[in-house]
Structure 1
């Protein structure tokens, strides 16, 4: 019985560990960065000054796309359509402090709509999204 209890506890601990390893990354009030699954695009949110950097890293005809969800303000899509040869697109935002921000990076083919043309399978399934606060 004692051995069975130890085994059950070990399996429970392993299950909890696997759950914590697969949850989204979070950093309160700190810069957060996330790549697309193939590392062809990257997005960084800097809460101090509310700057979003979106960078297309590979000249492959696809654009880097950042989806920024701000608690209480909605969801926004920002496209770096400049191409890989240019520096990161730096968007100066203005949100009040104390709101949770969720950032996800995708690739997309510009279709003239905010979310049209996004390859929804291009986000990093291991690091689904990153969170911080403004």
Structure 2
């Protein structure tokens, strides 16, 4: 019986050492979409947060004359619909995505909401739903 107890303790210790030396676990990626008002377009905009490297990418998904924009709220979250910053993609639907690199502590919550607007005036609207991930 003592052999089995010793073997069990040894397996448990090896598992703990393996866990302690493994790299940190990645967070949760998130993708959000802004609704389109133009027939034939599923979405006007999209944004993706990649938890590995904390990279935000904003896409203009519809040639509707509007730029893509995303609001970002990072924990601790703002109250009353607030957010920490926003990212525009004025490159049009045929242009390139806009990428922004940030750095957050592991486990930090990140929420986003995609919409569209007029880049030159800063007017925006047509927001999709907020969705959250973690760094």
Q: Does residue 133 of structure 2 align to residue 132 of structure 1?
A: yes
CA deviations 1:25-52 (Å, max 9, x no partner) are xxx9221111112201101111110000
Q: C-alpha deviations, 1:84-131, integer Å up to 9, x for none?
A: 11221111111222211111101011245xxx3011xx112xxx2111
Aligned partner of 1:53 in structure 2 is 57
Structure 2 unaligned spans of 5+: 1-25, 37-42, 78-82
Normalising by structure 1, we get a TM-score of 0.67
- Alignment-derived partner of residue 87 in structure 1: 96
Q: Map of 1:63-82 to 2, 5 A cutoff? A: 63-72=67-76, 75-82=84-91
Comparing 83-92 and 44-53, the one that deviates more: 83-92
Secondary structure, aligned partner of 1:85: coil
Partner of 1:117: 123
The alignment of Structure 1 onto Structure 2 pairs a total of residues equal to 99
1:30 equivalent in alignment to 2:28: yes
Choose from 111, 117, 132 the match for 1:102.
111
Q: Using structure 2 for the length normalisation, give the TM-score.
A: 0.66
Q: Which has the larger radius of gyration?
A: 2
